[in-house]
Structure 1
């Protein structure tokens, strides 16, 4: 009755190898980390957008909202 135990351990070994391979591929694709920039003396508050700037409802935005409805 040791045969079911060996099948189970083979499955775990293959699953582990697949997971390790996927993690290695993900690490290889991720960009290298950049050092954090030095903090500035004082952060400038974001200025209010001038009239006509910022978010605008345009025809292509309305079309997107219509297609995204469920």
Structure 2
């Protein structure tokens, strides 16, 4: 039985697919291992200090919970 050119092309396509997947994996690892420069915190991103008295604080998400929990 003779092997045709079509039969020989299938392994090459599979090898190319595996090679491409390997290269993509190595590239992803390389990007993940790159150092990331720290960013400066903006004043808007800084959270206000908690009340020194502590205890219960009525906030927007607590009020929203009360509204949704009404029977």
Classify the TM-score, shorter chain: 0.3 to 0.5
What TM-score do you get using the length of structure 2 for normalisation?
0.44
Query: Between Structure 1 and Structure 2, which shows a larger proportion of helix residues?
Result: 2
What TM-score do you get using the length of structure 1 for normalisation?
0.45
**Greater radius of gyration (CA):** 2
